[in-house]
Amino acid sequence: MQPVVQFRNVNKHYGSSIAVDSLDLSIEPGQFVTLLGPSGCGKSTTLRMLGGFETPTSGEIYLDGKEISRLPPNKRNVNIVFQDYALFPHLSVRRNVAFGLELKGLASEAIHKRTMELLSLVRLQEFADRMPAQLSGGQRQRVALMRALAPNPNVLLLDEPLSALDAKLRQQMQVELKSIQRTTGKTFIFVTHDQEEALTMSDVIVVMNSGRIEQMGDPHTLYSRPRSRFVANFIGESNFIEGTLKGTKGGLAAIEWNGSVVHAGLNGQDLQAGSRVAVALRPEAVSVFAAKPAEKLAFEGRITQRLFKGDHTSLTIELPNGQVIAAQLDPVALSRITDDRVWIGWREEDAVALAD
């Protein structure tokens, strides 16, 4: 399938600072793609270059196989939902949604029909004649979304559109966005710094850092098989234990750490024996035992903190070598832990060895 959006070796410099660094990215049609990263990672610049609000310093951007790198925004078949919605304050909801259709020169009955269809999709028909100032945050958000969808773009761009909403509304909108994406079948490119939002909605997540792509993949792969320390740390929480790589065998790495040899998944990486590596371990993958298990490798430690989180309890465990490990225990597992002196272990396939 031909990618709907393609970045080929795209760079964007502002003076001496590099916002986007040799970006190569292909996006398949009909997917919900999230650009995820901390602020300043280049995700918004990437989106704005696709929308036509920034021009790449070098490289090409293709939309449906056509080069669009230097076309103005009004000549591109993409539309954007802005972070603060940017609704036109002097136009009613209906006129806001109709704006793009009017500029396309459609007949007024056709515009009216399409506008009302779109508004009914988000249950806002009765609000058609209100002004934007008379709407709640969530309603404005939905009007902005429909205004951007009205001209029927190939690709819809969303620049952190949920960040101004409160937590509960944000969750509702996540569900709604995802379902609108499914019903319309359009490609959505969503920018956020919120990893939870990214995991919930995306078909594909592109993790960006310092203007480069760190890793791209479906949410499950990114969570369970991070390819860099940055990704392991940015998506969810991770423990990192640092040691020396002894060797690799059958997709597993053997690492010397704390006087023992521990194993961790290699994740297809090519790591050199003798190099320093970090083993990433999710807190929920850490097993905690009340007594030293006979057949398993386990390390003795001491619980220094217990934080009750409702459905689970977060433990902070300190090992004699000073290493601190975070663990998550459900109530059943926790009930077996009576003493602060514990042993921890993990399944080899749950840990991932990463270049340090």
Residues that bind another protein (CB under 8 A): 51-53, 72-74, 78-80, 82, 84, 86-91, 99-100, 103-104, 147-148, 150-151
The answer to whether 208 touches 231, Cβ cutoff 8 Å, is no
In the complex, least distance from residue 76 CB atom to another protein, rounded to whole angstroms: 8
Q: How far is the CB of 127 from another protein (least distance, A)?
A: 19
Q: Determine the Cα–Cα distance for residues 178 and 29; give it in Å rounded to an integer.
A: 15
Least distance (Å) from another protein to the CB of residue 50? 11
Whole-number Å distance between alpha carbons of 63 and 61: 7
Report how far residue 275's alpha carbon sits from residue 171's, in angstroms, rounded to the nearest whole number: 43
Count of beta carbons in the 10 Å neighbourhood of residue 61: 24
CA atoms within 13 A on the CB side of 34: 28
CB closer to another protein, 106 vs 303: 106
Cβ at position 89, least distance to another protein in Å? 7
In the complex, minimum distance from the CB of residue 188 to another protein, in angstroms, rounded to a whole number: 15
CA distance 97 to 152: 12
Nearest to another protein of 51, 211 (CB atom): 51
| Residue 102 and residue 110 in contact, taking contact as beta carbons nearer than 8 Å | no
What is the end-to-end Cα distance of the chain in Å, rounded?
Answer: 37
In the complex with another protein, the residue whose CB is nearer, 104 or 276, is 104
Rounded Cα gap, residues 23 and 45, in angstroms: 11
Name the minimum Å distance from CB 87 to another protein.
8
Question: Given the complex with another protein, which of 4 and 87 has the nearer CB atom?
Answer: 87
What is the nearest approach in angstroms of another protein to the Cβ of residue 191?
14
Query: Which tokens hold the place of 147?
Result: 């205004």
Q: What one-character-per-residue DSSP string does 145-193 give?
A: HHHHHTT--SEEEEESTTTTS-HHHHHHHHHHHHHHHHHH--EEEEEES
Q: Which is nearer to another protein, 85 or 257 (CB)?
A: 85
Q: CA–CA separation, 204 vs 215, rounded Å?
A: 10
* Of 88 and 308, CB closest to another protein: 88
Tokens coding 221: 């792969």
Closest separation in Å from C-beta 90 to another protein? 4
Output the smallest distance, CB 99 to another protein, in A: 5
Based on CB atoms, which residue is closest to another protein, 85 or 346? Answer: 85
CA-CA distance, 234 to 226, in Å (whole number)?
A: 10
Choose between 119 and 254: whose C-beta lies nearer to another protein: 119
Instruction: Decide whether 16 or 74 has the Cβ nearer to another protein.
Output: 74
- What's the count of helices (H) and strands (E) in the chain, helices before strands? 9, 20
Give the whole-angstrom CA distance, residue 234 versus residue 217.
Answer: 14
